[in-house]
Structure 1
C-alpha cells in the first residue's frame, strides 16, 4: 500500500475517488456525517480551513477514523499549510495556485491538489509536483473542458470540483478525471438538517454506485 509519512493511502482513495468537502458545520454533526461517509464505503474527506475549529476537527477525525484519508481544504497561505500539517492533515487542497504552498507540500511528501482554472495554471501546478490538479470552479467549465484539457495534457491527473453532482458525476470520469471533489451536492442538505444519517449513508452509496465501473 502506497502511503505518505502522514498515512495517505492512494489505494484507499482509488476505491472511492470522491473527495467529500465539509465546510462550516458544527463538530458534532461533522462526526456523524463522517461516520455515515465511512459506512457508505467512501474513503477521502476534506475539512476546509475556514471551518471553525478546523485543526481540532482534523485531529479528532484522524483519531476516530484511522481508516479514512483526512485532509485540509481551502489552504491558501503558508500559515494555513503549517496549521493543517500540525493538525495531521494527510493531504492538502487549495482553491488557488500558491506555488510556495505546493512546493512545501511536495517537499514534505504530502499529496496536494491545487486549484487551477486555465491550462497554463494546470500545467504549472503539475510541473511543481502536484499529485493531482483540482479544476476549480468546474461549474461553468463542465465536462467538455476536462476532455479538451486532457487532449494535449493527458499525463495530468485532474480532479474537477464545483458543479459535480449525482446526475453528472459519471460523465466526469468518462471524460478522464481521476476523481472529483463534492461539497453541497454530496452533503444532502435536507438529510443533514434532519440528522437522517442512515438516509445520508444510502445517498452516499447511491453516488458511489454511479461510478462503480471506474472503481478497481
Structure 2
C-alpha cells in the first residue's frame, strides 16, 4: 500500500533522522522508536549500511513507515527506491530529481530555504516541503514570514531542532512535523540503551500541541 505525503507528515509529530553506522543496530533502534510512538523513520543515506537497514526495518518492524533521507541525485533516488523506501527526503532539490521523484509515485519532502524555492515547488504541484537547515536559516521567524504570502505550504523543519524548541516549531500553523535526532543519539545507540530511546521517543510523540 502506497503511503501518502499526508501520512508521512501527520502520523507522528517528530520524524527521527537516523544515521545507521552498524547494520545490527538498525532493527532494534527502529523497534525502540516505534515502541515510543514514532512510526515514521528517516534513514539517511550517509553510511554504507543505510540501504540494507531500510530493507531490514521494512521486513522486521511492523508499523514502521520507512523512508530514505539525503536524496541528492538520481543515483541515490534510484537506490532508495530499489531498497523499498516508502518516502524520500532531500536537503534541497533539482529539476531532474523532483521530476524523477514525482514520476516514481513515492512521496518526497524536498528541502527548501527561501520563498523562491517554495514557489518553484508550488509550480510543480508540491505543497509539502522540508525546511532545512531550519535553525541556521532563520527558524521560527522565517517560517512565520514565509507563511504569510504562502499559507498553502506545509513544512517539516529539520536542522537544529531539539526538545527545547520543537514544541514552538510544532505550534506554527504551517508546520505539521519536525525532523530531529535527539531521541537516538549515537551514544545511546552504541550503548544499546533501547529503553531510554523508547522513553525519549514517547516524550517526542507527546509534543504535538
Structure-1-length-normalised TM-score: 0.88
What residue number does 1:179 align with? 177
The reply to whether residue 79 of structure 1 matches residue 96 of structure 2 is no
Deviations 1:89-131 (A, max 9, x none): 0001011112211112112221101111111112212332435
Distance change >3 Å, CA 8–CA 68, structure 1 → 2: farther
| 8 Å CA contact 1:21, 1:45 repeated in 2 | yes
SS at match of 1:207: helix
What residue number does 1:97 align with? 93
| 8 Å CA contact 2:13, 2:204 repeated in 1 | no
Measure the CA separation in 2 of the matches of 1:119 and 1:12. Answer: 23
Deviations 1:145-179 (A, max 9, x none): 11111111000111110011111111111122011
Map 1:30-109 to 2 at 5 A.
Answer: 30-109=26-105
What residue number does 2:154 align with? 157
What residue number does 1:119 align with? 115
| 8 Å CA contact 2:5, 2:108 repeated in 1 | no
Q: Which runs of 5+ in 2 are unaligned?
A: none
What is the RMSD of the two structures over their aligned residues, measured on CA atoms?
A: 1.8
Structure-2-length-normalised TM-score: 0.91
Distance change >3 Å, CA 138–CA 201, structure 1 → 2: same
Measure the CA separation in 2 of the matches of 1:124 and 1:186. Answer: 33
Higher relative contact order (CA 8 A, sep 6+): 2
What residue number does 2:145 align with? 148
CA-CA distance at 1:10 after TM superposition: 4.0
Measure the CA separation in 1 of the matches of 2:13 and 2:128. Answer: 12
Runs of 4+ off more than 6 Å? none
Measure the CA separation in 2 of the matches of 1:131 and 1:89. Answer: 21
The reply to whether residue 19 of structure 1 matches residue 15 of structure 2 is yes
CA-CA distance at 1:11 after TM superposition: 4.2
Distance change >3 Å, CA 93–CA 131, structure 1 → 2: farther
CA-CA distance at 1:15 after TM superposition: 3.1
Distance change >3 Å, CA 149–CA 98, structure 1 → 2: same
Q: Which runs of 5+ in 1 are unaligned?
A: none
Report how many aligned residue pairs link the two structures.
Answer: 207
